[in-house]
Amino acid sequence: MIKRSQEELGRRTAILSEIFDERDRQDAKFGEQNHPPLLWLAIAQEEIGEAAQAVLHVREGKPGASLEKYRAEMLQVAAVALSALEAFDRHPQRCRRCGCTEVAACPGGCAWLEEDLCTACGVEPA
Ligand SMILES: [Zn+2]
Ligand SMILES: [Zn+2]
């Protein structure tokens, strides 16, 4: 087991607390979010893109740009990842091919063809 100093643990705990606060803000803003994996990835990519943009703006010397914005965006990346994991664990019944669930259907809708296969994935493309 890795030994960590109290100082290191304190910093990590402080960051986790910030991530928890961001998760609370997300829940207050959007309510419980349930999406299939591909949509979660799109949301996370958007947040990563915003973090990248913040860094690029600092490098370009844009007025008002700051690395604090990068830090804030990375907290959102972590909070989105946490939310995706919560949603994944909340609905153990999911399509084995696309990961859609009872509350997060495929775009255009789908139904259960088998216990772990949805109609969007179970029908061969014409
Ligand atoms: Zn499916
Ligand atoms: Zn589906």
> In the structure, what pLDDT confidence band is assigned to residue 86 with cuts at 50, 70 and 90?
very high
Rounded to the nearest angstrom, the distance between the alpha carbon of 40 and the centre of ligand 2 is: 15
Q: How far apart are the first and last CA of the chain?
A: 54
Rounded to the nearest angstrom, the distance between the alpha carbon of 94 and the centre of ligand 1 is: 8
* Ligand lying closest to the C-alpha of residue 122: 1
* Ligand lying closest to the C-alpha of residue 101: 2
pLDDT at 92: 86
Please provide the size of the chain in residues.
126
Rounded to the nearest angstrom, the distance between the alpha carbon of 115 and the centre of ligand 1 is: 11
pLDDT tens for each residue of 9-44: 999 999 999 999 999 999 999 999 999 999 999 999
pLDDT at 3: 87
> In the structure, what pLDDT confidence band is assigned to residue 123 with cuts at 50, 70 and 90?
confident
